[in-house]
């Protein structure tokens, strides 16, 4: 909201040598709503070199579908308040289905936040979410902890099987896996 974010991001990219396509920034709906034309200009400048933009907490703020048309967003993050209510509230499940369909129609990746149960994971995987975040997948840790962390491959493999092929494939023994998966993606 302050300063020139695109210039700052550009400077950091130059200084670190990071490929802009590997950087993803999250914006909330309220940021877009506050000053539509300024937000549009900033996002256009950020995306110009290849930076990815994700719309965070989708469905909790102003949720104008015109944002999805006006801003060239790469990802939509479904707010955890919808995910938590999947089993208890049919409207939440219907809203998630609609968001996933909308995102897919606009060639966006869909991320569900707040995944805490296998039932939520199964529903979201079957509906076509591209990625999941939440305590079921992994709790937040300091960055140093990830360098030494050994992943819980059994849960990750089960989640991946559900996401990839709906559970029709059996998991392989851990010895056959040479790489640990990222803790936050399926």
Q: Give phi and psi for 16, each to the nearest 5.
A: -90, -20
List the domains of the chain with CATH numbers. Answer: 5-135 (3.20.20.450)
pLDDT on residue 22: 92
Instruction: Render pLDDT for 117-128 as a digit per residue (tens, 0 to 9).
Output: 999 999 999 999
Percent of the chain with pLDDT over 90: 49
Q: Give the mean pLDDT of the chain.
A: 79
Q: Tell me: pLDDT of 4 over 50.
A: yes
Confidence of residue 57 (pLDDT cuts 50, 70, 90): confident
- Least confident range from 31-35, 125-129, 133-137, 170-174: namely 170-174
pLDDT on residue 142: 74
Q: Tell me: pLDDT of 56 over 60.
A: yes
pTM above 0.75, yes or no: no
Render 65-132 in DSSP notation, one character per residue: HHHHHHS--SEEEE-HHHHHTTTT-HHHHHHHHHHHHHHHHTT-EEEE----SHHHHHHHHHHT-SEE
């Amino acid at each position: 909201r302050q300063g020139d974010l695109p210039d700052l991001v550009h400077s950091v990219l130059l200084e670190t040598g990071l490929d802009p396509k590997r950087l993803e920034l999250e914006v909330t709906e309220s940021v877009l709503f506050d000053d539509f034309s300024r937000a549009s200009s900033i996002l256009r400048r950020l995306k110009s070199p290849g930076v990815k933009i994700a719309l965070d907490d989708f469905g909790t703020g102003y949720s104008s579908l015109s944002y999805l048309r006006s801003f060239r967003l790469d990802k939509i993050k479904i707010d955890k308040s919808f995910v938590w209510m999947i089993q208890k509230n049919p409207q939440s499940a219907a809203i998630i289905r609609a968001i996933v369909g909308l995102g897919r129609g606009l060639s966006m990746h869909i991320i569900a936040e707040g995944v805490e149960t296998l039932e939520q994971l199964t529903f979201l995987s079957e509906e076509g979410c591209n990625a999941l975040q939440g305590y079921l997948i992994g709790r937040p840790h300091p960055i140093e902890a990830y360098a030494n962390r050994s992943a819980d491959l059994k849960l990750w493999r089960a989640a991946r099987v559900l996401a990839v092929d709906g559970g029709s494939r059996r998991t392989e023994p851990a010895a056959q896996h040479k790489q640990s998966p990222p803790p936050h993606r399926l």
